[in-house]
Structure 1
Amino acid sequence: MGKLITREQQEVENTWDLSSIFESDQAFDQAFESIESKLDQAEKFKGGFDSSDKLLEALKTERELGNELSKLYVYAHLKHDQDTSNDTYSAMETRARGLAVKFSSAWSFLVPAIMEIPEDTLQAYAEEDSFKEFKFDLINLNKKRPYILSDKEEQLLAEAGEVMHTPSQVYGMFNNADITFEAAVDKDGKTHELTQGNFIELLKSEDRVLRESAYKNLYSSYDKFKNTLSQTLAGEVNTHVFSASARGYDSSRHQALSNNHIPEKVYDTLVKTVNDNLHLLHRYTEIRKKFLELDSLKMYDMYVPLVDDVDFNMTYDNAKEWLVKALQPLGEEYISIIQEGLDNRWVDVYQNKGKRTGAYSSGTYGTNPYILMNWQDNVNNLFTLAHEFGHSVHSYYSRKNQPSNLSGYSIFVAEVASTFNEALLADYMFNNLEDDKQKLYLLNEQLEGFRGTVFRQTMFAEFEHKIHQLRESGQPLTAGKLNEVYGELNKKYFGQAVDYDDAISVEWARIPHFYMNYYVYQYSTGYSAAASLSKQVLEGGKDVAERYIEEFLKKGSSNYPIEILKNAGVDMTSSEPIQNALLVFEKQLDQFEELLSKIEK
């Protein structure tokens, strides 16, 4: 690997063009001063709203300043991420964050003040033509009224917030800073440092001795602290139960899902449908056992690639060609947006010293949807590029077709467009590659993605709901009980092909998502929705693609996420989209086995 270049050595055409936000850093400074001078505009509205005109003026003022601030912050954080060692841009991002805090504080009165308006009056305001762009926001606020407490009670809950965050903070500190693991040892007796960051990579090793060592050493460390960690998790669950009860929700899950107006039926349908199709995951574990030629398939054998050492070099220029061809089913307009992004420097392509690692799509209302990459010449980076362009084009469409207050989109649908693009790319590449080993490699990646996202995250969701139900029924969450529930779920999901041991029962202790209050199910629903939608587009042609763009990509948050998906063609309250996604997984299993037998011959 060559020496890493500096930011100044990057070719300009391979970097993002942020001049469309601010022409220079001096222009940023001027905008900063302008926004800071306008923060006191909030003061004129603090007396409450005795007319619809005053409320409308407040909403427009807050939105306009928020838009200006968002552009300021995006510029600062992108500048910082392109070279985190640059003190000028580190300071710029810090200043932008500080201004955002001041803005939030200045306008923190707005929602409470709106809630002082009688429900009927606020509903009447929402029906006025002048409030058209804010109607959905006002309707949502009205729907939250039954769960909003008195001023004194709300203040008390707000002050208790820091205390209620203690379990997750303690767990985060323990999991990220304090817990250590004994080094893993390979078949030659060589030791390998074992960390949270490299654990899965070690489980992908061809050396089974190393895999077993890493697996046992990591979980033995968690097992030593299982009683303590059971209480941090129990404390987190207790805060959810208390909050839901205090506000009058039916349950913890009811409160968590109501934030995005997701019917609880969606959760139950996901779990039931996946459970009804666990034979597909069991079939996959049987294939894994057979292909790896193991008498006993262990949980530490679940990550090692079935297809490895495949020559799949992919330059950025080649990746752009694959991307544009693969997304053709979405039509000329969609492709023109992709082309605009590729040609007009939305993408910051290559690594340089100090550049933030990983990849993301970023931007805000009034800016381009920028993409950060750290390009390596492999096919995985092509899929990452497709993924991030999915986010970026979704944002582009939403911002072009919705007012800024409705141009974002819920986390419930955030990964649909990105995963959708990956599905189209995988289908196109499979049908156009000539090398069977490359096809097998792609299928292996797709099967692993499905296993890890749909099956595994649904198992997590089932575990999370079970432990909340246990606590809500008055049962204590001891380490023994958590191990029992998790261990049984693991056996149910992965099937009889796996030879289980007690170590996997404590895996719950290393999953930070269990501290995120009914979050994980959205990975499964988003992946399933994307798989179902991509299947519809590939089979249904132009009209279905247009419906996907018009009813999903352009809608932002102008409706509830469940309704947006339904209008696009997937009703997540039914089992159909999840079942369609599972059909895709089954087809990939068929293709994988067929190619395996072909190569073996």
Structure 2
Amino acid sequence: MTNKTSNRVKRKDIEVKQKWDLSDLFKTRDEWKKELDAVKADLPEVTKYKGKLGNSAGELLQCLEKKEKLLERFNLVFMYANLRQTVDHTDSERQKDAAIATDAQSLVNAELSFVETEIIKLSRETLEQFMEEERGLQSFKKYLNDLQERKHYSLSEETEEVLASLGSLFSAPYTIYNRGKLSDMQFDSFIDDEKAERALSFALYAGKYSSSPSAEVRRNAYESFNKTLSQYKHTFAATYAAQVNHEVTMARLRNYDSVTDMLLHDQQVTHEMYHNQLDVLQAELAPHMRRYANLKKRILGLEKMTYADIKAPLDPDFKLETSYEEAAETVRDALEIMGPEYSDMIKRALSERWVDYADNIGKSTGAFCSSPYGAHPYILMTWPDTMRGAFTLAHELGHAGHFYLAGKNQRMTNTRPSRYFIEAPSTMNEMLLGSHLLSSTKDSRTRRWVILQQLGTYYHNFVTHLLEGELQRRVYKLAEKGEPLTADVLSEQKLEALKNFWGDSLEMDEGAGLTWMHQPHYYMGLYPYTYSAGLTVSTIVSQHILEEGKPAVDRWLEVLKAGGTLKPLDLIKKAGVDMSKPDAISQAVRHVGKLIDELEESFKR
């Protein structure tokens, strides 16, 4: 069959309105290069404090402030190069610039690594004395205390500098994965239900064909998609194994009991909190999702429910197709409940080209929000021509709103909370959008469609990412036992995790086992499970907002503005939720069960 990838649009042919405006970071590439060189030239302004941080409170404060200012500048340089590459991985100049930025990051990290190493060596008594002597250090208090908690796991100054200088090497698995996925992989076209050929890509499969109303389109696209994945599975397995082995080795070097201990320590999350998310959801949510799968099979009249069908629309004849502009207006209206400051940010994001929503060859799949300190956030997504895209847009605007407010209220050092909390502000916006859409219609069929979108959010975060987290838990255990992480092992483990969750409600094939190749999350530490933690929080807090109104909104905005000044448990408690126990997770699962109850009831009417 001929390959039709060439039918997709090249970046240069995309309309300007569909692209983000990176000139807000740097007007030209030459300006970017000039600042990159300037940042490297200014490194001595910080490194001159090497060996002096224990001398006085004043010198410590001066060093921290100069380091922060330098990193603010470098962050913009690094973001610019990487954002340019994410929209076109086929462009050799963009690849080169991103590589230059990554090498520069390794240099900067290595040169500045002495700061944290020297602070970690200071006694707690000395730090407390310094903070009393120099009030300016109070704004670095959590950062300094966090470093003290790493004292037992830190290595010598020379070793830390060497490790920092190897940053580009350590990030190589992630780079190789994306390069192979977005630059080298070419998918065969497939035949649709009208006997026509359709082009296929990662973005098209995930955003369109996997949720097609046509079983033939879904299954044929799935078959072609997996055919190409299978051709790359051994290379990708070796790439992922390199990532995991690096993490396991680092955990041993730093004297952690396990790689999980190391990764959770960085998130300031207990083993109980981590395992609660994986265990409670898999035990309590699985029965509801199996009901959901069985409902789809019955309503859609499928002889068998395969893994290719799980995202099939349950009411395929009811479509809410919409343009990006119409969806953006709906999202803007839904988020007005968050108050004027938040709403003003949303309006700017949608009118000033903070969002890149084009679909072009070489563009990264999925969606993300990048929020460089000192500039506005940037959102990447691929517009799917349906209202489902509105939920993706709302989600990424949640990240944007979070770091926009944190950046306005905190210094750069204090803007980033634990990754455990990161997905709460994003999924909060999806919850609010769903509630807005439900309150805006009395039509039973439209209401059912909205419930299906809400279930799409829970499927994505409580199932897809949760089961990614389950695979990670298995993989780290195998790696620490010295088991080889081959393509067959990864596929077997993924398939077993899927079968355990879905039971006999879905028929699994070998292609389902290849879903470990779909996402880059595995190269980001223990990231996948945090999606479910964030959605647990947003499920409960969104209910508070709908019940209480402004008081709950104000509490939530204060949490967003707090940035990284609190540990995750304390931050979430500030919003009115206790994540130290499994109760909140069970409450969120019961909410999903109620949505499926209402969905089942809607088909009885």
TM-score of the superposed pair, with normalisation by structure 2: 0.81
Residue of structure 2 equivalent to 1:426: 434
State the SS of the aligned residue for 2:267.
coil
Structure 1 position 270 matched with structure 2 position 270: no
What residue in structure 2 maps to residue 593 of structure 1?
600
Paired residue type of 1:517: G
The answer to whether the Cα contact below 8 Å between 2:105 and 2:167 also exists between their aligned partners in 1 is no
SS at match of 2:604: helix
Contact 1:7–1:352 at 8 Å: present in 2 too? no
Q: Which residue of 2 aligns with 1:514?
A: 522
CA contact (8 A) 2:465 2:528 kept: yes
Amino acid at match of 2:139: E
The one-letter code of the counterpart of 1:243 is M
Deviation of residue 576 (structure 1)?
2.7
Q: Indicate the residue corresponding to 1:41 in structure 2.
A: 45
The answer to whether the 8 A contact 1:513-1:519 is kept is: yes
Contact 1:390/1:417 (8 A) holds in 2: yes
* Letter of the 2:561 counterpart: K
Specify which of 144, 147, 165 is matched with residue 141 of structure 1: 147
Looking at structure 2, the residues matched to 436 and 588 of structure 1 have their Cα atoms a distance apart, in angstroms, of 14
Amino acid at match of 1:561: P
Structure 2 residue 130 is matched with structure 1 residue 125? yes
Counterpart Cα distance in 2 of 1:512 and 1:468: 16
Greater Cα offset, 157-166 or 552-561: 157-166
Note the C-alpha offset of 1:284.
Answer: 0.6
Any idea what the Cα deviations from partners look like across 1:46-70, whole Å, max 9, x if unmatched? 3422222111111112223333454
Unmatched tracts of structure 2, length 5 or more: 1-8
**CA RMSD after TM alignment:** 4.5
Q: Quick check: 2:109–2:164 contact (8 Å CA) kept in 1?
A: no
Give the whole-Å Cα distance in 2 for the aligned partners of 1:412 and 1:428. 27
Mapped to 2, the partners of 1:23 and 1:221 lie a distance apart of 39
- Cα distance in 2 for partners of 1:445, 1:576 equals 25
What residue identity is the alignment partner of 2:435? D
1:570 corresponds to 2:540: no
Displacement of 1:398: 1.0
390-399 or 180-189, which deviates more: 180-189
Query: Residues 286, 348 of structure 1: CA spacing in aligned structure 2 closer, same or farther, 3 A cutoff?
Result: closer
Do the aligned residues in 2 keep the contact of 1:226 with 1:479 (CA within 8 Å)? yes
What is the CA–CA distance in structure 1 between the aligned matches of 2:428 and 2:374, rounded to whole Å?
25
Q: State the 1:596 CA deviation.
A: 2.9
1:258 to 265, 275, 293: 265
Aligned to 2:3: none
With 121-130 and 142-151 compared, the bigger mean Cα shift is at 121-130
Q: CA deviation at 1:139?
A: 0.9
Aligned equivalent of 1:62: 67
1:172 to partner: Cα distance: 5.8
Per the alignment, residue 248 of structure 1 pairs with 255
Unpaired runs of at least 5, structure 1: none
Question: Is the Cα contact below 8 Å between 2:107 and 2:165 reproduced in 1?
Answer: no
1:115 matched to 2:123? The reply is no
**In structure 1, C-alpha distance between the alignment counterparts of 2:182 and 2:574, rounded to whole Å:** 42
In the aligned structure 2, how far is the partner of 1:353 from the partner of 1:226?
25
Q: CA deviation at 1:483?
A: 4.5
Between stretches 223-232 and 569-578, larger displacement belongs to 223-232
Indicate if the aligned counterparts of 2:394 and 2:433 stay in contact, CA closer than 8 A: yes
Q: Tell me the residue number matched to 1:488.
A: 496
Partner Cα separation in structure 2 for residue 17 and residue 178 of structure 1: 27
AA aligned opposite 2:148: N
Separation of aligned partners in 1, 2:549 and 2:113? 47
Aligned-pair CA distance for 1:488: 2.7
**Structure-2 separation of matches of 1:160 and 1:21:** 27
**More divergent stretch after superposition (77-86 vs 148-157):** 77-86
Matched letter for residue 568 of structure 1: A
The answer as to 2:544 corresponding to 1:536 is: yes
Aligned to 1:406: 414
Q: Does 1:443 align with 2:451?
A: yes
TM-score, with normalisation over the residues of structure 1?
0.81
The 3 A distance-change label for structure 1 pair 262 and 341 is same
Number of residue equivalences: 593
Q: CA deviation at 1:133?
A: 0.9
- Native 8 Å contact 1:231 1:477 kept in 2: yes
- Given candidates 468, 475, 478, the residue that maps to 1:470 is 478
Distance 1:505 1:62, change over 3 A: closer
Structure 1 189/237 Cα, relative in aligned 2: closer, same or farther at 3 Å?
A: same
Contact 1:127 1:135 in 2 (8 A): no
Quote the Cα distance in structure 1 between the aligned partners of 2:474 and 2:11: 51
Structure with bigger gyration radius:
1
For 1:587, the aligned partner's letter is K
Would the aligned equivalents of 1:285 and 1:495 in 2 still touch at CA under 8 Å?
Answer: no
> Equivalent residues in 2 for 1:355-394 (5 A)?
361-369=369-377, 378-394=386-402
State the one-letter code of the partner of 2:264: L
Change (3 A) 1:352 1:324: closer
1: CA distance, partners of 2:185 / 2:317 = 34
Q: What is residue 525 of structure 1 aligned with on the other side?
A: 533
The 3-state SS of whatever aligns with 2:272 is helix
What displacement does 1:336 show?
4.9
Residue 111 (structure 1) shift: 2.2
Distance verdict in 2 for CA 1:229–1:185, change over 3 Å: same
